[in-house]
Amino acid sequence: MTTPHSVDFMPPRSAWLFGHVGGPVARRRQVMALVASALLLAAATAGWWFGRPQPAPAPVATVLPAVRPAVSVAPSLSAADRARINRVVRRLNTPWGSIFEALENQAGARAALLSLETDADRGVVRVSTEGPSLDELLQHAEQVQATAPFVRTRLLRIESPEGAAATAVAIPPGLTRLSFDLVIE
């Protein structure tokens, strides 16, 4: 009697990979196929990783904060603040270059400039001169008035050596002082 063969679900000990039975040459082929598959998978993954589009890095210098819209409401200033600001603006807008040029061009050897003061609120420049005679000082004042930035002249004070003796002002003998305002355009 023959015994029926039993079904054996376990592979023999010589089956190494995927249940295939083989000798040492077959095992080497199986290992080489496994290594080649792993290398192919690594190459495909690297190709995908380095081939994908990279986002461009944001430049550091061009990142700007959000721009606020311009405020259309003018700040409210009191009348005193506006007057103070206008006074400063008038002082800053005094045409000093043309004033000095006019005074230097018209100042002869006979008239000396003693002082120069500005009153931007009234738009005038106060000039004090000194010379040998009143006629020469008045002629100098008229010549300066005829130059560009000035409109007219207002005489303020005439000091002669005789009148200075009665006051504490010391005027050298033989000289006269003239103070006048030049009105600026």
Render pLDDT for 56-71 as a digit per residue (tens, 0 to 9): 776 666 656 667 766 6
What is the average per-residue pLDDT within 148-162? 79
Cα 152 to Cα 143: distance, rounded to the nearest angstrom:
11
- Helix 96-106 and helix 134-145, axial crossing angle in degrees, nearest 10: 140
Cα 66 to Cα 63: distance, rounded to the nearest angstrom:
10
The terminus-to-terminus CA distance of the chain in angstroms comes to 143
Q: What is the predicted pLDDT for the residue at 127?
A: 86
CATH fold label, 89-184:
Gyrase A; domain 2 (3.30.1360)
Domain ranges in the chain are 15-45, 89-184
pLDDT tens-digit readout, 96-151: 788 888 777 766 657 888 888 888 777 788 888 888 888 888 888 888 888 777 77
Phi-psi region of 19 (alpha: psi -120 to 50; beta: other; left: phi over 0): left
- The beta strand positions in the chain, using DSSP E, are 15-17, 20-21, 112-119, 124-131, 150-159, 176-184
Chain centroid offset of residue 72 CA: 22
pTM for this entry: 0.48
Q: What is the predicted pLDDT for the residue at 166?
A: 45
Is 131 or 8 the better-scoring residue by pLDDT? Answer: 131
Is residue 9 within a helix (H) or strand (E), and if so which, with residue range? none
Assess contact for 154 and 111: CB atoms under 8 A: no
Closest alpha carbon to 126 in 154, 104, 151: 154
